[in-house]
Amino acid sequence: MKLELITDNWTLQDVNELLVSGLSPTPAGQIAISKDKQSHTFTYLPHAVTQLDCLLTLLTNLVIYDELIVDQGYVATWDREHPQLSRLTRDSLVRPVPFDPNAETLVAVREEIVDRMAVTPSLKAAADEMRKSWRLTGTSDDPHMSALLWGGAGMLARSHILSAPYFGHPFRRTLIKESGFLAARRDAWARTEKIVSAARTQMFKFRYSEIEGALASFNLPPIAVHVVEQATGVDDLLLSAIGLRDKYKKMREWLAVYQHALESEDERKLLANDKLLKSIAKSVEASYGVDETNSTNVSLSVGFFSLSIPVPSPSSAANRFGIRSALTDLVMQSQGENALRKLMKVFGEDKSAFGRDLCDQLRLRYAADT
């Protein structure tokens, strides 16, 4: 089976703007929902932070997934100005799929999801206002909220219809997370990345024990780090990701089997895969002398089975072959500090105060303690 992911044209649009026009200092609003679920607010950060988040996401997903699915109706928002982005559809790495936004099934699912994500009175009121506005004028008085709430619900509805996992634009991911909405489609790479990231976090905390707080646990997505380190400039970033697809072919094949096991609820295969992932995390803990109180303590859903995990070290023979080797390499990938500085340099902000501020914000964004 192919390993597919539904993603947003919005993500690709932000990457297009970044590659064509560079890092944008314009403020952009990220939603935050109060803990008591009674109100929502927006925090404003430079659009460049979101642009770079979108870029790192795209670089990772181009390597990991066989193809990315987007809504055909909005491809023109990004598939025009940058030749490397246009190549993605020609090479079938991004597959546009036609969706009728007024189709009865999609509308019904989208409406249900909107109601479930509008968890605060303020979001419910915003959703009602948008419904009225669409009925009267066919537009929304609040385009940003419409893109977040209705757009996000629409993509989750598409995920339901195509039976494929969805990983959206950073702003939509924040809303989904803050609202507590649980998507029905499980994603093998998301599960794998969670454990890889937890192991990397623990490793860097140990290695940089003299640094306190979030910065000690900062780590960029390891595949994106690999891509950036291989690239020679802005125009080479996407080519670098495409060029690394062959190196990660076996991992895509393993993830496709893992994804099938998730969808078919094959508990034996899930148990085997989960044991492998957790054993690699334990290998890192053993190598760095992590005690029980500082363990990554990755929680996996494996039915009624308890895992008895052998703990080989990262340098042991068991870690040097096959998928175990590939996963161990991901854990051992560099933290991403050099990749972050390289990104600032290729976009011309390595010497500026703006570039320094962006680095600080991205270190916090990709730190486990935030």
Global pTM reads: 0.89
Distance CA 3, CA 65 (A): 5
Distance CA 280, CA 32 (A): 34
Angstrom CA distances, 223 to 248, 266, 270, stand at 10, 28, 24
Q: Write the DSSP string, 144-162.
A: HHIIIIIHHHHHHHHHHHH
pLDDT 10s digit of each residue in the chain, 370 long?
889 999 999 999 999 999 999 999 999 999 999 999 999 999 999 999 999 999 999 999 999 999 999 999 999 999 877 888 989 999 999 999 998 878 888 999 999 999 999 999 999 999 999 999 888 888 888 999 999 999 999 999 999 999 999 999 999 999 999 999 987 678 999 999 999 998 888 888 877 766 666 666 789 999 999 999 999 999 899 999 999 999 999 999 999 999 999 999 999 999 998 889 888 878 777 776 555 444 444 443 333 333 333 444 444 444 444 899 899 999 989 999 999 999 999 999 999 999 999 999 999 999 875 4
Distance CA 16, CA 11 (A): 9
**Is 330 within 8 Å of 196 (Cβ atoms)?**
yes
Question: Which residue is associated with the tokens 């024990």?
Answer: 209
12 CB-side CA count, 13 A: 31
Distance CA 92, CA 205 (A): 40
